[in-house]
Amino acid sequence: MKNIILIAAPSAGKGTVSNFLTKEYGIPHISTGDILREKAKEDSDLGRDIKYKIDNGIFVSEDIILDILKSRIQEEDCNNGYILDGFPRDVSQAESYQKILKEIGKNIGVVIVIDVSLETALKRIAGRVICPKCKSVYSTNSDGVKPKVDGICDKCNEPLVKRVDDNEETYMNRYNTYMEKTYPLIEYYEKQNIVYHVDGNVSVEYTHKQVKEILGEEND
């Protein structure tokens, strides 16, 4: 199985696709956002700084993210591939990431872009809830990802919560930053002929079907 980079606007479904891939192929989902949110809970200057930036849709220092990531992808469970969600966020990070890969002898793999409209993303952000324990993502207004029991995680029975940064104002800050900083990554990776696009507007099932077809072709 190849390493996978997911690129999409906030709330386009990266977390849901990542959970599907982990279950389907047994490779770890590495979300720099989740790792940073754990750091943000720490009672330290670094933790408070990260929390402020997350809550206000501001990028965290590249050096911090790179240190966290380099350590994580060298763990044993990444030997057969992994899914990167939320990294790289811009071309500079992409270049730094490829230097890390060269240092540790790993291949970049494939880049999957989930295309979704702003209207669809805003609808999803309004209904998104997560499990604080296992990080599973659900939506209260999308049939494909609603929890079986309202407000309860299907996997570990924990009460679901809404992230403090899941509101329209903060979302638009994140979306505008994505368009300015992250969207150019698509062209950067297209020059390497490793980009695949999937339509994330239709349904969760349709998105998963497209991703599975892409990986089937890549692993033939």
Cis peptide before 28 (omega within 30 of 0): no
Catalytic residue list contains 163 = yes
Catalytic residue list contains 14 = yes
Which member of 14, 37, 124, 135 is catalytic? Answer: 14
The rounded distance, in Å, linking the Cα atoms of 34 and 175 is: 18
Which member of 51, 162, 163, 212 is catalytic? Answer: 163
- Write the CB contacts of 10 (distance below 8 Å, at least 6 apart in sequence): 121, 125, 171, 174, 175, 178
Which member of 37, 39, 128, 135 is catalytic? Answer: 128
- Residue labelled with tokens 């809830």: 129
Which member of 39, 124, 135, 174 is catalytic? Answer: 174
Catalytic residue list contains 48 = no
As beta bridge partners, residue 115 has 199
- Burial tier of 126 (Cβ tally within 10 Å: 0-12, 13-18, 19+): middle
As beta bridge partners, residue 188 has none
Catalytic residue list contains 89 = yes
- Are residues 154 and 136 in contact, defined by beta-carbon separation less than 8 angstroms? yes
The rounded distance, in Å, linking the Cα atoms of 190 and 195 is: 5
Which member of 37, 89, 124, 135 is catalytic? Answer: 89
Structure tokens at 182: 């992250």
The rounded distance, in Å, linking the Cα atoms of 135 and 34 is: 8
Catalytic residue annotation: 14, 89, 128, 163, 174
